[in-house]
Amino acid sequence: MNRIHAVLDSFGSAVTLAWRAFASLPSAPRILKRTAEHGYYGGYTTLPIVTILSFFIGAVLALQAGITMRNFGAKDLIGILVGASMARELGPVMVAILLAGRVGSAVTAELASMKVYQEIDALETMNIPPPRLLVLPRLLAVLVVMPVLTIAGNIVGWFGGAIVCHSVSFISVSPEAYFNSITRYLEMQDILDGLIKAEIFGFVVMLIACNTGLRTRGGPREIGFAVTKSVVTSLIAILVLDYFITKALA
């Protein structure tokens, strides 16, 4: 019962936090610099790892598809299989998981540390709402960054698949045939669905990271617990939401 109460409490506080952050949206022009800084950290510095992982996910997808489809003579469809899987599912999910592990954990650690060392109290006594100064720029930044990272991940993943299809002897699908399959069967809606997922995942991950950090109580040991909690909660939220969003968009 206590656990259910704690989950509902966290959910309520996350919703309240988002509401309070967006209530200060009119002050957005004043936080542009901070939004850009968070965008740079969350986006630009995450891009290399997104591209490396996307490349190998695309490559593995193509390889697995090649192994299965050679028995059915449907190798020409490997392109669309990799393309749609990356665009609709693996791209946004992988980017969101990376965001939770790399950026979300750092955000939780920073805010939890600010809470433990009374910096949040200092902001409150100065009548500077922490949601405006600390949460809104991060939420806005993630909304800008997620589509960019997802598109980059998708493109690199498609190329990873193309290279495998071309270079692995038992698949041997030419890049032209591979990309023809993508351009012929992949619809703009598939890409947009993936981007909608990415936006929702990114928003939720960042909200969980901020909320967990700001709700930290106690001493330095709690900072570590908060980071673990934030990452685990984000991963669960991504996968649960993925099912429901996919169902809603189907």
CB of 248 to another protein, least distance (A): 38
CB of 90 to another protein, least distance (A): 35
Report the distance separating Cα 220 and Cα 115, nearest Å: 10
Q: Which of 17, 87, 109, 133 binds another protein (CB under 8 A)?
A: 133
- Residue whose CB is less far from another protein, 182 or 227: 227
**Chain-centroid distance, C-alpha 220:** 27
- Residue whose CB is less far from another protein, 1 or 248: 1
Q: Which two tokens stand for residue 186?
A: 């992949």
Residue with tokens 């806005």: 140
Cβ contacts of residue 36 below 8 Å, gap of 6+?
141
User: With CB under 8 A, what is the number of residues at the site for another protein?
Assistant: 16
Backbone angles phi, psi at 173, to 5 degrees: -105, 130
- Residue 156 is which amino acid? V
**CA-based torsion, 29, 35, 40, 43: positive or negative:** negative
CB of 139 to another protein, least distance (A): 18
Residues, the chain:
250
- Residue whose CB is less far from another protein, 124 or 187: 124
- Residue whose CB is less far from another protein, 71 or 127: 127
24-43: contacts with another protein (CB under 8 A): 30
- Residue whose CB is less far from another protein, 29 or 48: 29
197-236: contacts with another protein (CB under 8 A): none
CB of 36 to another protein, least distance (A): 16
Binding of residue 71 to another protein (CB under 8 A): no
CB of 208 to another protein, least distance (A): 22
101-130: contacts with another protein (CB under 8 A): 110, 113-114, 117-119, 121-122, 124-129
CB of 4 to another protein, least distance (A): 20
Nearest to 143 by CA among 38, 29, 51: 38
Nearest to 211 by CA among 129, 131, 118, 106: 131
Question: What residue spans of the chain are helical by DSSP H?
Answer: 2-23, 32-39, 47-69, 78-84, 91-98, 105-116, 119-125, 130, 136-167, 175-185, 188-214, 220-249
CB of 12 to another protein, least distance (A): 18
Identify the three-state secondary structure at position 33. helix
- Residue whose CB is less far from another protein, 113 or 180: 113
Site of interaction with another protein (CB under 8 A) = 30, 110, 113-114, 117-119, 121-122, 124-129, 133
